[in-house]
Amino acid sequence: MAIGWPQGAMDLVLQLLFTGLGIGAVYALVALGFVLIFRATNVVNFAQGEFSMVAAYLMVVFAVDLQWPYGWSFLAALAGMALLGAIFNLGVYYPLRNRTFLPVIIATIGASIFLANTVLALYGPQPQVLPGWFETPGIQIGPVYLDSQYLLIMGVTLVLVAFNFWLFEHTLLGKKLQATSQDKEMAALLGIPVATMIMLTFVYSALLGGVAGILVAPILFVSIQMGSTIALKAFAATIIGGFGDVKGAIIGGLALGVIETFGAAYISVPYKDGFAFLVLVAFLIFRPQGIFGERVAEKA
């Protein structure tokens, strides 16, 4: 059953829009990790969602089990993620870097299963609770309730998008990373340490995925499958935005969050996940390059 349009319709729309953008921002953060690795290596990293999950568990270990201050726990969890990104690069991508994309993709799927089961073995199947960053759960503005954690997620997403833009467009490191992603051989000829650049990309993607996981954990709880559910949507967002395009990932993620929230409210709740993938299929048929994608057929 869907909601009708009578009195208070505007309040409803605002409330739904807020939640949609909040959940969309999470998709966008994870999608960003997808895009960066894809651009650097031409490979989709299917363990991106597990990065979020591992980070959330690290946060539980530091902030809940060890009772460290939240900020320090956050930094420690991010340090752990940087390490994981580096190990992932060395263990999963690097040995297969000269093969076609297929073995690498299979390896990332294997790694995602490995990560999920390692956490399961270490921490058990029970979902865990991670408290939010703020004491106040949220604020009521007129008819609309703003969850403080969603506000934080949107804020962090904005900051990270800005940082991303600055890094890639205004720093030498960013230019090197871009050059590597566009043409590895050319970049190597120019003296750019390609292997290091790819290593940095994996570390950065693990950090982005980790931030997404830590931010969303207080809302969705910390569970083994939290990563895969988010990653699937983020993957769809990446395709909608245009695979390989950073602003496409952001817009695609936000759009997906809003579309599924409104679809659930006004059409059908049980088919909520269906809307995301309906949009995905429509894009694959009518605009396979996505919103911002260029019509190129070389990569792969």
Partner 1 sequence: MSISRRRFSAALSASLALPTLIGRASAQGATIKIGMCAPVTGPAAESGRYAQIGAKLAVDAVNKAGGVLGKQVEIIVEDDQTTNPGVVLAFSKLASQTDIVAFLGSIRSTQVHAMSPDVLKVGKPVMIGGTDPALTHMGNQWLFRFRPNDSYSGKVIADYGVNTLGKKKWAIVHSTDAFGTAGGKALTEALSKINGASIALDQGYANQSQDFTPVVLAIKQSGADILGSYFTFENDLGVFARQLRQLGVTIPYVGSPSIVNITALKLAGPALYGTFGVADYAEDSSPGSKAFGKIYREVAKVAPDNQSSWPYDAITILCMAINKAGKTDPAAIREAILAVKKHPGAEGEYNFDANGDGLHGYNIVKNENGTIVFDKHIESAS
- Residue number with CB closer to partner 1 (13 or 87): 13
Residues near partner 1 (CB under 8 A): 1-4, 8, 12, 15-16, 19, 23, 26, 120, 124-127, 129, 137-138, 145, 147, 219-221, 223, 225, 229-230, 261, 264-265, 269-273
Instruction: Kindly state the smallest distance separating residue 265's Cβ from partner 1, in Å.
Output: 4
- Supply the Cα-derived Rg of the chain in whole angstroms: 19
Amino acid identity at 119: V
Instruction: Kindly state the smallest distance separating residue 120's Cβ from partner 1, in Å.
Output: 8
Rounded-to-integer distance, Cα 245 and Cα 203, Å: 19
- Residue number with CB closer to partner 1 (8 or 103): 8
Rounded-to-integer distance, Cα 212 and Cα 152, Å: 11
Phi-psi region of 100 (alpha: psi -120 to 50; beta: other; left: phi over 0): beta
Instruction: Kindly state the smallest distance separating residue 276's Cβ from partner 1, in Å.
Output: 11
- Nearest Cα neighbor of 23 from 153, 137, 144, 218 is 153
> How many C-beta atoms surround the C-beta of residue 28 within 10 A?
30
- Residue number with CB closer to partner 1 (177 or 279): 279
- Residue number with CB closer to partner 1 (180 or 238): 238
Pairing of the two strands 144-147 and 138-141: antiparallel
- Name the token pair of 66: 């060890």
- Residue number with CB closer to partner 1 (1 or 285): 1
Instruction: Kindly state the smallest distance separating residue 44's Cβ from partner 1, in Å.
Output: 22
Instruction: Kindly state the smallest distance separating residue 134's Cβ from partner 1, in Å.
Output: 14
- Residue number with CB closer to partner 1 (210 or 227): 227
Determine the length of the chain.
300
Please state the φ and ψ torsions of residue 140, each to the nearest 5 degrees: -100, 115
Instruction: Kindly state the smallest distance separating residue 270's Cβ from partner 1, in Å.
Output: 4
- Name the token pair of 2: 């869907």
